[in-house]
Structure 1
Amino acid sequence: MSQDPQARAVLKEAVDAVVNSFAKHTHGYGRVNVVEALQEFWQMKIQRGCDLKNGALVVYESQPSASPPYVCFVTLPGGSCFGSFQDCPTKAEARRSAAKIALMNSVFNEHPSRKISDEFIERAVADAFHSFKGSREEAENPSTGIGAFKFMLQSNRGRTMLEFQELMTVFQLLHWNGSLKAMRDRNCSRQEVLAHYSDRALDDDMRSQMALDWISREQETAGIIVQELEISMNELKTARLAGRELRFPKEKRDILQLALTQIQSDETLA
């Protein structure tokens, strides 16, 4: 799924402008090393008192490929994920492309409009209605996925979205995976759900558990994983080329690939 060339050119111009501006403001000369600049930006945030439980670590992940264009993802402290938004002829260029878009978003994230405020919460909840085809009544019901999302935002007023992304992605995945509905059916309260997951890292154990849920669905509806995986891969590619935040679609893809790999492994052993 290709992106409009004009839109991609505008995006590249905007990213380059922000990167060059960052270089000037940090007294950089010549071509800025965006990989180093991105790491230094988040180290500066930590030094200024930003509370991030995993520290200032910036993590890169190259997508396996035997030939160009190469793709790289970068996950920031706080959990936000961005990817290379250009057609990259080398793995090093893909890494720089991912660092560029991540640095741009990190700089923009400092703007007051990115702070979680009442106005921000209203917009984010409205976006959730659209994404999950929910209703406004759900937002006022704490036992629903959208209601829990709204409560979670309200509990994190004053933080920025990049700092809050991992927690938000956990609850997006729980909603997508059907886990929130299952907990609601077991009469778990909003407070119990939030208490259980608010301090949980999005780790391999959580991904494995969600993959098992999809394996169970596959046993009921053959082909559902491949179908859902194709959707998530298209979403991820479209969002990456548009320079958008990627953690949710990337985690969906990874969980579904994990489930498919496990099924194929079991079939080989059978």
Structure 2
Amino acid sequence: MRRSRIASSASAFLLAAACAFAGPTRAPAAPSRAALDYVALGDSYSAGVGAGSYVSSGTGCLRSRRAYPVLWAAAHASSFSFTACNGAGTSDVLAKQLGPLSPRTDLVSISVGGSDSGYAGVMATCVLPGTTACKSAVTRAHSVMDGALPANLDRLYSAIRTKAPAARVVVLGYPHFYQLHGACRGGLHDTERAALNEAVDHLNSVIAKRAAEHGFTFADVRTAFTGHEICSSSPWLRSVDWLNLTESYHPTASGQSLGYLPLLADTAW
């Protein structure tokens, strides 16, 4: 009996010693994510207009080194093609931007639809005095969103899938422009600002529906930009700049890095 207790004690001692020399147990390391073949398509919101630090390309595309695709690619991409361009509509993307896509492409991001809807003309109308004219311009934009835009998106999305059959495609939407009852003085009335925000909602709805039909992921940036619209205390969007109209109503560098980038990071894998 005594020998049995001695043997048990010795076994316990040896086991404890073995554990002590082995060191603490470590959890298995999380698998690292492979770098991706990434192509960034789209309009001025993807190009980074408004963020500054533009790449000299001779094309007028105003591609920014601070744009969310560039920031994401620097951390995660094994190869990166950046064809997004200021002013691009669906037909421009279809005709000029799809060259880098291939069966090897892992990830595609795109924002497009604003130019198709005539947003530049809507904003130009709404920044001038006249609520009635602004609302009429928004109504015309709605007609385009519900008319030609869905078919244009379908053609583009189908072409993307054909050229990059294995890619994850992330379609990013547009933020609200204005915080209502905000700190802005003068300029548009809240009625006009609300009409512009509602037009953004309508556009995002059309884009999200077409993206879902093609099996793409829609990333809604409106929540990310809440509290950072024009007229907020910390805007991530540029207001009207009469000396540089091109950058008006576009995300700043903060809008790109703090608004759009986290959304792409959350949906890219």
TM-score category of the 2 structures, normalised to the smaller one: under 0.3
Higher strand share: 2
Higher helix share: 1
TM-score (norm 1): 0.23
If asked which structure has higher relative contact order (CA below 8 Å, sep 6+), I would say 2
TM-score (norm 2): 0.23
